[in-house]
A and B are shown apart, each in its own frame.
Chain A
Amino acid sequence: MPMISSNPPSGGNKAQQQQQQEEMESSTQESPLNPNAFTFDLPHPVYAMAFSPSPFAVASSCSAVAAASPRLALGSFVEEYGNRVDVVAFDEDALAFRPDPALSFDHPYPPTKLMFHPSPLPPLLASASDSLRLWHLGPETAELRSVLDNSKSSGYCAPLTSFDWNDEEPRRIGTSSIDTTCTIWDVERCAIETQLIAHDKEVYDIAWGQAGVFASVSADGSVRIFDLRDKEHSTIVYESPRPDTPLLRLAWNKVDRCYMATTMMDSNRVVVLDIRSPAAPVAELQRHRASVNAIAWAPQASRHICSAGDDGQALIWELAAAAAAGGSSEAAITAALEGIDPILVYTAGAEINQLQWSAAHHDWVGIAFSNKVQLLRV
């Protein structure tokens, strides 16, 4: 039974909300026909996803779309050499996707991550698979601008698991690799700025906190913060309770830099950390019914985080300030005992593999599951 019958989004809000309530109470939660989720189908499974920063001022070949619309880059996941990155725009007025085939390009191996340059100009897209590549999404086509290759003598470069583009210092990209190192690239010179052996085992994710500070998670189960001014030392912020449980994903809150969140392998928990108090997580969000695959902080609010997992649900959580400040109100105590409940939920039909919250358009969240990409309005 669909969640909301065919109400046009703009009108009849009250009825819609009432209906929502009724349907919620009857707890039928299939919402593939949710009119507020906009689906884009692809011929292949999708993993990597990136939102463009705003406004995307470059006019594209099929730019009936306003420049300020969200634009997505979608990377395929095919277990062979030939993969593809598609660039798709979303028309907010018409509420429809407009793929841009001219800007789509082939990509060697599935990209583990895609990310746009933090500022709209130049319109660069970075992708990581076996090495880091920068693509220029020009007005007409996309072309490979540079390949940042870590290979030295052997000619092989360790596959990259993830990377992050530094917002404050857009020349810097940090990459993480299975050879236990993190490499900081200077994008303008296309050269390595520094390379650190970050962990004892493979590094699975990396995130920038400030211009010279980044954090990484690894198969050794630790979250470490590195400061480029003092490369000899790193700070362990958290270690997984069962030793050597790999930590798979990391997200650093861009609004309030004290908080970061991480997920573990085969775990339904999202662990929220305060870097000022290491080793003791602020919260463990445990309402997923299967493992968590992706997390994203809200780009404008400091206390909201979204997570998605194999149970097909995308949950938005709110971290109460009281909990963070260690208040002793009733709500905080309840939260400590039972865990925080999320405030919002969306149910997709299948395991959600990817989640991105658009920094430019705060009300859009993109999720990817099987061959589909959905834009959800918050």
Chain B
Amino acid sequence: MCRAMDAGAIHEALSPKHLRKQLAATVRKIQWSYAIFWSPSTGQPGVLAWSDGYYNGDIKTRKMTQPMELKADQMGLQRSKQLRELYGSLSAGDNNPQSRRPSASLSPEDLTDTEWYYLVCMTFTFAPGQGLPGRAFANNQHIWLNNAPFADSKIFSRSLLAKTLVCIPFAGGVLELGTTEQVLEDPALVKQITSFFREMPDPVGSEKSVSSTQMAENDEDNLCPNLDYDMDGSMAMEEPDPLSDRQPASENDPTHLPFGLGSYAAAAEHARPVQDKVEEPEIVSPDDSSNVYCLTRPREDSFGTDGLNGISRTRNPWLGALNSNEYLPMPCVGAQRVVTSAKKEIISNQMLDGIEEGNCSKHNSLELGGGGSHYAKTVAAILRNSKPVLCFLTISLESSFVVWRRGLRTPKPFTGTPQTLLKMILMDRRRWLHGGHMEKAWRPEGESGGSYLLSERRREKLNEKFVVPRSLFPSISKVDKASILDDTPRYLKQLERRVRELESCRETAELSGRDRRKQHPDVSERTSDNYIHKEITDGRKASANKRKARDMDEAEAEHEHHCVEVSVTMKEKEVLVKMHCPWREYLLLEIVESMSNLHLDPLSVQSSTVDGMLAMTVKSKLRSTTVASPGMIKRSLQRVIGKCL
């Protein structure tokens, strides 16, 4: 108890502002990267928490409110301040998601890795004996960790950025300094550091922020777990091995991690070299007590911290995913790799669960996992809260989805018509909407974008239609559509030519036929002439016979040109006249007139007009006294018909 009070008193003696200045001065003087002062946390008694720090390392993006020249120390202070603000805003983002950081403030992508490390350190707490600060605190001796990346995770479980670390118990807390270079242990340096600290440095213009201390504690509370896992006993309380023999360490594979974390290792995006080997660190032997400096420092025992063990970690039932590469410049913690996005959920969840269940045998690895996961989780927590900056996908524990792998095979390949339902919805709806007029009304163009399934059917019909010409045209030998399309017109042209030829042949045949016919009338004329004479002289029978013969002759050859057909048949005194000619007005009258002129008395007339063609049949009787030859009758009739044509 009194120890605590003493520690508190000493702590108060160093006002925050003063502390920071001293940190700043110290670090700058020795040209190291950062300084952190861990002090007993007021929120959690017995645990060392981040109290103040100064960052003097690499800076990625410089952001300033005014582009004015600042002295190096001022810039450094400002940077530290900005980092604090960033941390504060990120971790406070939960409470105030709408707040936007001022434009000159930093955003996560502006930081280097070392800065990230520094930032995250703000969340760490150490129980006495745990971690370097804890051990330094517990033993009240400074610890110089050289070659920190190769340190055993038990010794130094935080992210291994700094190559050299020194933890010096001081003023009720632990002063930690780190640098990215390898610095061999130098007891004199330790003394120097502590003596610097004692001095009152020149005031350097900078604001103090008391809130940072509070913030550290608040954040701690925010991140305060529902769970503290039990680490005592298994924690690294053992003495460090003698430093003289540096044994090459056992392999610390990724598979050392509980849940096959290495299987996700491939997805690690950060190009930080991963330490696979663990070597025994060089720990300064406790013998160099002469280097130990302390103010009136009470002797340290391990604090009676029964309730609080282990590193406080966040345990999130929610698991935020970290997205893009930019936002995650995470170094590798020992062999652990931090992976992106959904996998993180599963991993961190696994680690959490594993740690929760906590087999004894796994404690060591858990410590590694624990420390690393603390880092991971912290960054995750920080980044997650910065909603305006990141967008993430929360993936629940009971996700229906599984992580995608290249080698996944679908159960069965899809062989049907693609997008059937979608196409029916979009394109074929006219089919079962009302009627065919729908199609006509609303189809913008003939075929385009038309119904998918309809076109299928159409295609089938078309295919069928192609078969038909093939069967019709014997000359078509080839079967494919293109040749069918070529051959068919060709064949048609051939046919047309043939038809034309045949027609012309027919015409000539007709002509020749007509010539012959023409002779017939002449012949008949002659005969008729003869007949007439004979008739007059001879009796009627003979003439009738001859007439009959002649009639028969006549009857045969009656194909008049130009669709005018006249046939006259005589049988004794009866004359049958058949006519087929283009109709015109009064034609009938004229014909009858001419027949009477020819001494034919019409007995009956049958006529019909079809398509402008007159078909007439006249039965008439020859007057007794006169004799007319059929040829004569025909000629005169033709004359009549042809009169007004």
Contact = CB atoms under 8 A, between A and B. Distances in A.
Contact of A303 (B259, B323, B400, B405): B323
B434 A255 contact: no
A110 B426 CA distance: 11
Interface in A218-255: 219, 244, 246, 248-249, 255
B645 interface: no
A60 interface: no
Contacts of B402: 3, 20, 24, 344-346
A331 to B, nearest CB: 6
Given A313-B410, A345-B408, A36 B449 contact: no
A34 B422 CA distance: 26
Contact of A159 (B323, B325, B429): B429
Contacts of A275: none
A110 to B, nearest CB: 7
B392 interface: yes
A110 B341 contact: no
Given A109-B433, A159-B433, A298-B393, A311 B410 contact: yes
Given A202-B449, A341-B406, A342-B404, A302 B259 contact: no
A344 B260 CA distance: 19
Contacts of A29: 408-411
B410 A343 contact: no
A267 to B, nearest CB: 8
Nearest to B449: A219
Nearest to A324: B324
Contact of A30 (B353, B411, B429): B411
A195 B418 CA distance: 32
B421 to A, nearest CB: 5
Interface string B243-272: 000000000000000011001000001000
Interface stretch (A6-14, A119-127, A167-175, A276-284): A6-14
Interface residues of A, number: 91
B433 A343 contact: no
B617 interface: no
Contacts of A313: 410
Contacts of A341: 404, 406
A294 B442 CA distance: 26
B258 to A, nearest CB: 9
A306 to B, nearest CB: 9
Contacts of A287: 404
B562 interface: no
B405 to A, nearest CB: 6
Contact of A293 (B353, B394, B408, B419): B419
Contacts of A47: 421, 425
Which of A30, A159, A293 neighbours the largest number of chain B CB atoms within 10 Å of its CB? A159
Contact of A312 (B260, B395, B414): B414
Interface stretch (A62-70, A76-84, A140-148, A186-194): A76-84
Contacts, number: 216
A301 interface: yes
B311 to A, nearest CB: 21
Given A29-B408, A377-B399, A363 B394 contact: yes
A53 to B, nearest CB: 20
A202 B419 CA distance: 17
Contact of A343 (B341, B396, B411): B341
A109 B349 contact: no
A157 to B, nearest CB: 9
A351 interface: yes
A81 B432 contact: yes
B393 A378 contact: yes
Contacts of A21: 260, 263
Nearest to A219: B449
A312 B410 contact: yes
Given A293-B422, A322-B324, A377 B431 contact: no
14 contacts: A9-B398, A14-B354, A27-B408, A161-B426, A249-B422, A301-B391, A303-B391, A311-B413, A313-B410, A341-B404, A378-B394, A378-B395, A378-B396, A378-B399
Interface of B: 259-260, 263, 269, 323-326, 341-342, 346, 349-350, 353-354, 357, 391-411, 413-414, 416, 418-427, 429-434, 437-438, 441-442, 444-445, 448-449
Interface of A: 3, 9-10, 13-14, 17-18, 20-21, 24, 27, 29-31, 34-37, 45, 47, 77, 79-81, 109-110, 112, 129-130, 154, 156, 158-159, 161, 178-180, 200-202, 204, 219, 244, 246, 248-249, 255-256, 265-266, 287, 289-291, 293-294, 298, 300-304, 310-316, 318, 320-322, 327, 329, 331, 341-347, 349, 351, 353, 362-363, 376-378
Given A129-B429, A320-B324, A344-B401, 7 more contacts: A79-B424, A178-B449, A289-B414, A321-B325, A344-B342, A344-B404, A363-B396
